[in-house]
């Protein structure tokens, strides 16, 4: 996809006039997307949540406590790291592009997920609920939720597709160590979307005592807006840091997009800076043409899933299509409604990155900078490499790229080990072996 | 199996016109002094041919209104029984448009006496096109649509399309619904309002939620003319209990369950379906002993 053409710039300035600041748009709708397509039984709880969260954000007791936790527990602000050796591969050393990583991987629990989880968990306390449930794919959101539940003394149940409990056995153990109950979901495709179905069913039945601690900017209103609010700190810190370090705004911001929380979190601070181009990188899996991917914008169409209208992988009947990605965290057939809105406005561009491209970028960051990224985040790194090449080809030099490094790769070592054939001489010969076994062989 | 075909005809003619096919049917039964039995089956389970047979067998055994479930990949309002049937139906290749055949079959089989409502998660209707779906369903003789994940607030297109094509629109209320939402939902619905007996998903339960009776009363007070209760009803006794206070008793999982076991011959499964239906039909008939044969609720 080319850089924003003039037509999009016009749409954009029109959008500013009509909408005011893009960064502050409130739900239930983001343009044509979002809403509340859920059973009536949940509406009262969603209304309560919306009221409480709006009140909380205006209450210094709440925002102060969250800020304290982020400082003393999460480890915020997360650093901004320039990665010059990696940048040499980004459109060629002569082009002089600079790459900065926003280090959400250094947060407690290893990803950006904790930002949202602590915010919602504090809200749960305010609402007087005692139990939280969550869905998880890779396990990062489940681990973050189990962590906050331990910290704040909440009962915690995490739903996880059976297939993912096997792929991510280590994170299952982490959640159980933290005191959470992990429920493998054995119906449907047995992955993230089915875990969300099961969490929604639990929520309908237990909504009086239970909060559904949704892990990304999807779902019914107010989740997409509220989860953005809890992640906007990523972009706010990064904007300040890069102004200080590079002396100017970045030319482009890159993030991976599963549900879209880390991307929206970093985009948000730049939405109203028209000169900053925003790129979301989706899981292209084995290639969009293969049908095995999670590229909702290249391979999907607007539809409703899990409470919101957004771009969706679906068949001609509206049945949800299975998604595929080497990274469990991007393996989801829909996407947050705010991204669909930004896509249709032309304010952000979304491109697929294949498994192969992501794994190459994964290895490159390990080798050039000594940082093992989450495979999810490696999609953003691969995207940055592409942006650098494209800039060089188009004669633009000295570009500044800001990449959200949403998580660290500890959880992915077994997958990467198999991918690159690193486990062979450790006695693990079967490349098809699942993560649990490979991890055991590794120990 | 005892059929009830024909017995309702005189009452039908005496019933007030409600502007709704399902509404007329329920009013006719009210005049007979009983609640309607509304039976749910997913289309395409175990395959399209046999599932048409099952729906008609259920009608012959005594349901008053048919609910045709559209199998969907992500049925968040359904428990394990209906999930399994839906999954099998999808694996068997059922298509969304097949539901039109079922609506036609029910209309033909009963001479239009038994209304057929479609129960569909919203994305299937969206994808078909809201107005085209309403148009085609009406043309096939369908009576309307039950929408478990569409609230009236999001339903402007559907309200317009169902008005344009004369279809019933059945929205849900739940024990958690506020008075304001009960009013909104009652005003937006046509045919009846679906009261979820409990906070939860479909599936047989030991007891029908004790909040159901209060919810029916509250929904009527909020302006609903007809309120039917679903979720958790599986036996004739439960149907009798719910039929005492509700205008209709909705049964799903308990019927679907009779068809699930692959190892049982199909004919025996149909027998079990009819036996279960007859038990439920008997339940709604003994719910209000001594009820007048005129409508009594004021
Ligand atoms: C490290 C990391 N990055 C990204 C994601 C994708 O989620 P989102 O798109 O909401 O940021 C996940 C989800 O599990 C993750 O663990």
Residues in chain B with CB shorter than 8 Å from the CB of A187 are 80, 83-84, 87
A210 to chain B, minimum CA–CA distance in Å?
A: 13
Check if B156 contacts A (Cβ < 8 Å). no
Rounded CA gap, A414 and A427, in Å? 14
Q: How far is the CA of B230 from the centre of ligand 1 (A)?
A: 39
- CB of A259 shorter than 6 A to ligand 1: yes
pLDDT in tens, B244-298: 999 999 999 999 999 999 999 999 999 999 999 999 999 999 988 877 554 444 3
pLDDT for the residue numbered A85: 98
Indicate which residue of B78, B168, B225, B247 is catalytic: B78
Domains within chain B, CATH numbers bracketed: 21-285 (3.20.20.70)
3-state helix, strand, coil in chain A (%, to 5): 50, 20, 30
Query: Is the shortest distance between the CB of A261 and ligand 1 below 6 Å?
Result: yes
Residue nearest to atom 13 of ligand 1 (CA): A329
Chain B partners of A42 at a C-beta cutoff of 8 Å? 176
Please work out whether the CB of residue A257 comes within 6 Å of at least one atom of ligand 1: yes
Query: Same CATH topology for A29-74+112-223 and A80-110+232-442?
Result: yes
Tell me the catalytic residues of A.
90, 112
Nearest CA to ligand 1 atom 5: A329
Residue A2 pLDDT > 50: no
pLDDT of residue B284: 97
Of B73, B83, B122, the CB nearest to A37: B122
- Whether the full predicted model's pTM is greater than 0.80, yes or no, is yes
Residue A305 with chain B: CB contacts under 8 Å: 74, 123
In the CATH hierarchy, which fold is given to the domain comprising A80-110+232-442? Rossmann fold (3.40.50)
Task: Examine the pLDDT at A62 and tell me if it is beyond 50.
Answer: yes
ipTM of the complex: 0.92
| Most informative mutation of A112, A142, A161, A353 for ligand 1 (most atoms within 8 A of CB) | A112
Q: What percent of chain B has pLDDT over 70?
A: 92
pLDDT digits (tens, 9 = 90+) for A361-410: 999 999 999 999 999 999 999 999 999 999 999 999 999 999 999 999 99
- Considering only CB atoms, B77 lies closest to which of A39, A303, A306, namely A39
Q: Distance of alpha carbon A369 from its chain centroid, rounded?
A: 23
Check CB contact under 8 Å for B127 and A303.
yes
Dist. CA A63 → ligand 1 center (Å): 24
- Nearest CA distance, A423 vs chain B (angstrom): 37
CATH node for A29-74+112-223: 3.40.50.1100
Ligand 1 centre distance from Cα of residue A409 (Å): 12
B2 confidence band (pLDDT: 50, 70, 90): very low
Among chain A residues, CA nearest to B123: A304
Domain boundaries defined on chain A: 29-74+112-223, 80-110+232-442
Residue A440, pLDDT above cutoff 50: no
The answer to whether the CB atoms of B75 and A197 lie below 8 A apart is yes
Three-state SS for chain B is: CCCCCCCCHHHHHHCCCCCCHHHHHHHHHHHHCCCEEEEEEECCCCCHHHHHHHHHHHHHCCCCEEEEECCCCCCCCCCHHHHHHHHHHHHCCCCCCHHHHHHHHHHHHHCCCCCEEEECCHHHHHHHCHHHHHHHHHHCCCCEEECCCCCHHHCHHHHHHHHHHCCEEECEECCCCCHHHHHHHHHHCECCEEEECCCCCCCCCCCCCCCHHHHHHHHHHCCCCCEEEECCCCCHHHHHHHHHHCCEEEECHHHHHHHHCCCCCHHHHHHHHHHHHHHHHHHHHCCCCCCCCCCCCC
pLDDT, tens digit, 9 for 90 and up, residues B182-227: 999 999 999 999 999 988 898 878 888 789 999 999 999 999 999 9
Asked whether A165 lines ligand 1 (CB < 6 A), one says no
Task: List B residues 81-120 in contact with A (Cβ-Cβ < 8 A).
Answer: 83-84, 87, 90, 95-97
pLDDT tens per residue across span A311-349: 999 999 999 999 999 998 999 999 999 999 999 999 999
**Nearest chain A Cα distance for residue B269, angstroms:** 24
The answer to whether residue B67 is catalytic is yes
| Beta carbon pairs, A and B, within 8 Å | 114
- Shortest Cα distance from B100 to chain A (angstroms)? 14
**B-chain residues within 8 Å CB-CB of A200?**
76
């Amino acid at each position: 996809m080319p850089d924003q053409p003039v037509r999009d710039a016009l749409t954009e300035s029109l959008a500013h006039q009509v909408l005011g600041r893009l960064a502050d748009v409130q739900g239930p709708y983001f343009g044509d997307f979002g809403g509340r397509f859920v059973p009536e039984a949940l509406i009262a709880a969603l209304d309560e949540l919306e009221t409480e969260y709006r009140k909380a954000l205006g209450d210094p007791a709440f925002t102060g406590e969250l800020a304290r936790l982020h400082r003393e527990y999460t480890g915020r602000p997360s650093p901004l790291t320039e990665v010059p050796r990696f940048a040499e591969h980004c459109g060629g050393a002569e082009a002089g592009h600079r790459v900065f990583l926003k280090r959400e991987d250094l947060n407690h629990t290893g990803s950006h997920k904790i930002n949202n989880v602590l915010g919602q968990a504090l809200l749960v306390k305010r609402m007087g609920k005692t139990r939280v449930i969550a869905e998880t794919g890779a396990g990062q959101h489940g681990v973050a939720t189990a962590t906050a539940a331990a910290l704040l003394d909440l009962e915690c149940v995490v739903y996880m597709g059976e297939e993912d409990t096997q792929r991510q056995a280590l994170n299952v153990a982490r959640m159980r160590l933290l005191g959470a109950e992990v429920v493998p979901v054995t119906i449907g495709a047995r992955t993230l979307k089915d875990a969300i179905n099961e969490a929604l069913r639990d929520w309908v039945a237990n909504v009086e005592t239970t909060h559904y601690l949704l892990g990304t900017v999807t779902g019914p209103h107010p989740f997409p807006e509220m989860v953005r609010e809890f992640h906007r700190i990523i972009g706010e810190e990064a904007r300040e840091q890069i102004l200080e370090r590079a002396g100017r705004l970045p030319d482009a911001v890159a993030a991976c997009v599963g549900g879209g929380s880390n991307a929206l979190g970093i985009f948000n601070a730049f939405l109203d800076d028209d000169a900053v181009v925003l790129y979301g990188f989706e899981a292209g899996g084995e290639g969009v043409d293969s049908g095995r991917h999670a590229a909702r914008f290249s391979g999907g169409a607007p539809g409703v899933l899990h409470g919101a209208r957004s771009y969706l992988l679906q068949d001609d009947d509206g049945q949800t299509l299975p998604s595929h990605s080497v990274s469990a965290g991007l393996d989801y057939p829909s996407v947050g409604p705010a991204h669909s809105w930004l896509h249709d406005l032309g304010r952000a561009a979304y491109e697929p990155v294949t498994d192969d491209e992501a794994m190459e970028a994964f290895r490159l960051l390990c080798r050039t900078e000594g940082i093992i990224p989450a495979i999810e985040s490696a999609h953003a790194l691969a995207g940055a490499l592409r942006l650098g090449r494209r800039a060089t080809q188009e004669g633009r030099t000295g570009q500044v790229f800001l990449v959200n490094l949403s998580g660290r790769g500890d959880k992915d070592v077994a997958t990467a080990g198999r991918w690159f054939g690193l486990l062979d001489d450790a006695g693990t010969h079967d490349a098809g072996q699942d993560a649990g076994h490979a991890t055991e062989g590794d120990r | 199996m005892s059929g009830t075909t024909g017995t309702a005809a005189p009452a039908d003619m005496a019933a007030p016109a409600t502007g709704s096919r399902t509404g007329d049917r329920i009013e006719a039964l009210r005049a007979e002094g009983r609640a309607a039995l509304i039976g749910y089956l997913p289309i395409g389970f175990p395959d399209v041919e046999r599932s048409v047979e099952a729906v008609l067998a259920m009608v012959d055994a005594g349901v008053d209104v048919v609910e045709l479930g559209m199998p969907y990949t992500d049925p968040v309002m359904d428990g394990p029984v209906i999930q399994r049937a839906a999954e099998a139906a999808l694996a068997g290749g059922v298509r969304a448009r097949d539901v039109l055949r079922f609506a036609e079959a029910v209309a033909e089989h009963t001479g239009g006496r038994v209304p057929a409502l479609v129960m569909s998660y919203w994305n299937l209707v969206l994808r078909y096109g809201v107005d085209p779906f309403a148009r085609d369903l009406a043309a096939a003789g369908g009576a309307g649509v039950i929408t478990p994940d569409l609230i009236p607030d999001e339903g402007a297109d559907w309200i317009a399309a169902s008005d344009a094509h004369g279809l019933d629109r059945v929205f849900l209320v739940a024990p958690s619904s506020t008075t304001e939402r009960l009013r909104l939902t009652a005003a937006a619905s046509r045919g009846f309002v679906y009261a979820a007996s409990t906070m939860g998903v479909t599936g047989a339960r030991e007891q029908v939620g004790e909040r159901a009776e209060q919810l029916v009363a509250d929904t009527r007070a909020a302006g609903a003319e007809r309120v039917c209760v679903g979720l958790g009803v599986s036996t004739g006794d439960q149907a009798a209990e719910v039929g005492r206070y509700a205008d209709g008793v909705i049964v799903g999982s308990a019927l679907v369950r009779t068809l699930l076991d692959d190892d049982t011959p199909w004919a025996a499964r149909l027998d079990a379906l009819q036996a279960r239906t007859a038990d439920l039909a008997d339940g709604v008939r003994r719910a209000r002993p001594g009820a007048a044969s005129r409508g009594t609720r004021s």
